[in-house]
Structure formats: structure tokens, C-alpha cells
Amino acid sequence: MKKSFSVVFLSLLITFSIILSSCAGTSMLSPEQSIDNIMSEYNSPDVPGASVLVMKNDTVIFKKAYGSANLDEQRAVTTNTNFRLASVTKEFTAMCILLLQEQGKLSFDDKIFKFFPDFPLYGKDITVKNLLNHTSGLVDYEEFVPDSQTYQVLDKDCLELLKKTDTLYFPPGTKYQYSNTGYAFLALIVEKVSGQRFADFVKENIFNKVGMPASVAFEKGISIVPNRAYGHSLTNGTWIQTDQSNTSAVLGDGGIYSNVEEMAAWISALWNYKLISLQTQQLAWSNAILNDGTPINYGMGWHLETYHNIRHPHHGGSTRGFRNHILVFPEQKLMVVVLTNRNHGDPIVQAHAITDIYLNGK
């Protein structure tokens, strides 16, 4: 008995639908599967790891950890593992200055001599604003720290090291050159103006107010880092622990430890203007301008880039044993942060790839 055309057609349609669904199931990945693929090189207990978080509209929509926080202990990374932020720290140092500026305790136009009267004359025209946006021309303090030096440099030492030279890279405000020295000086200015140690000021005025109880400006012998990730480097095909260098103790340019969960609280506070005014926050997220009117791709504690035709702030951090990146899209209320404990790779690549999954509702 022959089947009717309609029955045959319906059978073929159902079969085709099953095949199509099966193909779709293998080719279309969930966001978590996609991110797992992006982070696959970190996803083993035998390698230094990473922690990833995505926040949209103040809601965490993805968080996951990969690999080991300490290979010696085979301790796994979690989303509460604290990584050395390296230069991502500059966001917090800049915020300390912005808070003091809004309180009327300093001005962006204040000259460096107001805080350090014995600073060499070559720095007479450097302002707080120059320090914030890397246009001071100050020589990198690292140039005066030999690799063979076994003791660690502190922020206050950077001030003394800069007395060893009598020149700048360029007149203040005429060029942009990324400067760790400038942010070490900003931490010292925070101490001068507030009368508090930098680590205490950050804790009291940022961490406590935002809800970042595990974050810390780490000082050996004074504070501890809970759930700490240790840095690693790949040497002759083997991962070895390389957690600290002789400049790792400088706080203002890179000494804060935090985790992706608390970085979400930090960014939520920023785009909801819980710490400073909308106007001041937007200034921090806007291009600074050189003396001749040329804009630069840095604001106050933040780089600026255009990604998918969206101008937005971001910042990376790279130091011995750690590489990190955070992307923030304030208008879209989207944040992606990737923290890693290895001196290898470029997390902005992974952060951009993860952003592509979520940006504009993708």
C-alpha cells in the first residue's frame, strides 16, 4: 500500500528537521562553551590558570576559573582567587587622586613641588594631571634599578631614584609616554595629602565602600593576600614560580591584588557613580589633551580604544608572573575581565574574543 504524498512529505520534513537540529547542536556553542574554547590553554591543573568574569547591567552573566593558582600546591584557581593586578592597579591610584580632588584637597593643576619641595628643578612644571595621564616626561624609575638588585623598591624610593637624573624625557604636556614613575608619585601624593598610608587610604575609601573585602595593596610583612595566586613563567618548556621582582613592592603603579568577583563590584561602582560624580568619572574615561591640543589614548588611570566602533576605557597589567586585562563599555553596561598568573600571552586577545560573544546582544 502506497503512502500518500502528504505523509511522505511530512516524514521527510521531520527527518530533515532532526538532521538540521543535530548539525546546529554541534556547530552552535553556548557562551560558556565558546569561552571554554577561548580559554582552553589555561584549562588544565598542570598549568598556571586564569579567572574570567562578564558583567552586564550590574549582573554577573558569566564567571569561571581555569588552571592552577599555585602549581607547587596544585591549588586550583577560583573566581575568588586574588591575582596581582599589575598596572590595572592604576585605576585605583587614579581614583584616590580623583576623590581628593573632589574633596578640594588638591587640584589637577598643582605642581609637583607642592608635595615634594626638594624635588629637582627639572620637574618644576609637572602637574598632577601630567602624572595622571602619562605626560610628565619623568624618567622610568626602573632604569635606576639593576636586575641584580635583591631588595625591593618601594614607592618612596622612586622619589629618591629620580633625584639621580637632571632631565626629563620631554617637557611636561608635550608628549605621551606610559610612566610607572608617575603613578608611584601619585601614591606618595595621596599619602602627603590624606595623612594616611596609601594602602590604608585605598582600603578605607575604595575597597570598604565598594565591597571589596579581599582586595589589598599588598605589603610584605604588613598585609596578606587571601586566596592568593602565584605568578609563573615558562622556562625551557617548564612552568616555574616567578612571583615577585625587585619592583613588585611599588604600590601606586601595580601593587594591588584582587579577584574577578570584586572587580565586578568595582566597575559597577564606577558606572553608577558611587564614588565620584558623573562629570569626574567621564573625565577619567576621556582622552587627555596635550599642550598643543592633540588628544591621546589615555584618560586618568584608563587607556581608551575604539572597538566595534565603540569608544571605551580599558586597561592591562603585565608584570613578572601575571598578565591581566579589563574591558569596560560604560554605555552598554558591559565589562569583561581576564586575570592570569603567567608571564605569557596577551589577555586582551581573550577579553576581546569574549566581548564579541556578548556585545550588542550577540
What tens digit of pLDDT does each residue of 311-337 get?
A: 999 999 999 999 999 999 999 999 999
Among residues of the chain, what percentage have pLDDT more than 90? 85
Q: State the pLDDT confidence band at 144, using cuts at 50, 70 and 90.
A: confident
Note the pLDDT of residue 21: 37
Cell of 249: 613592592
Q: Kindly tell me if the per-residue pLDDT of 5 is higher than 70.
A: no
More confident residue, 148 or 266: 266
Q: Is the dihedral of CA 248, 254, 255, 256 positive or negative?
A: negative
Q: Is residue 14 a part of any domain in this protein?
A: no
Note the pLDDT of residue 22: 35
Q: Kindly tell me if the per-residue pLDDT of 341 is higher than 70.
A: yes
Q: Is residue 55 a part of any domain in this protein?
A: yes
Give me the chain's average pLDDT, please.
Answer: 91
CB-based burial label for 237 (10 Å; 0-12, 13-18, 19+): exposed
Q: State the pLDDT confidence band at 149, using cuts at 50, 70 and 90.
A: confident
More confident residue, 361 or 213: 213
Q: What is the pLDDT of residues 202-233, one digit of tens each?
A: 999 999 999 999 999 999 999 999 999 999 99
Q: What are phi and psi of 239, to 5 degrees?
A: -80, 125
Q: Is residue 6 a part of any domain in this protein?
A: no
Q: State the pLDDT confidence band at 150, using cuts at 50, 70 and 90.
A: confident
Note the pLDDT of residue 360: 62
Nearest residue to 185 via CA among 211, 161, 206, 217: 161
Q: State the pLDDT confidence band at 11, using cuts at 50, 70 and 90.
A: very low
Widest pairwise Cα distance in the chain: 105
Q: Is the dihedral of CA 350, 247, 82, 272 positive or negative?
A: negative
Q: What is the pLDDT of residues 162-177, one digit of tens each?
A: 999 999 999 999 999 9
Q: Is residue 26 a part of any domain in this protein?
A: no
Run of H or E residues at 59:
strand 59-66
Q: State the pLDDT confidence band at 87, using cuts at 50, 70 and 90.
A: very high
Cell of 88: 590595572
Q: Is residue 11 a part of any domain in this protein?
A: no
CATH number at residue 325: 3.40.710.10
Residues 66-82 have a mean pLDDT of 97
Residues 352-358 have a mean pLDDT of 97
Q: State the pLDDT confidence band at 361, using cuts at 50, 70 and 90.
A: low
Nearest residue to 96 via CA among 260, 254, 301, 283: 301
Note the pLDDT of residue 168: 97
Query: What's the predicted TM-score (pTM) here?
Result: 0.91
User: Domains in the chain: how many in total?
Assistant: 1
Angle between helices 31-38 and 347-358 (to 10 degrees): 170
Q: Is residue 325 a part of any domain in this protein?
A: yes
Q: State the pLDDT confidence band at 25, using cuts at 50, 70 and 90.
A: very low
Q: Is residue 22 a part of any domain in this protein?
A: no
Q: Kindly tell me if the per-residue pLDDT of 10 is higher than 60.
A: no
Cα separation of 36 and 53, whole Å? 12
CB-based burial label for 126 (10 Å; 0-12, 13-18, 19+): buried
Q: Is residue 8 a part of any domain in this protein?
A: no
Structural domain boundaries, residue 275: 31-361
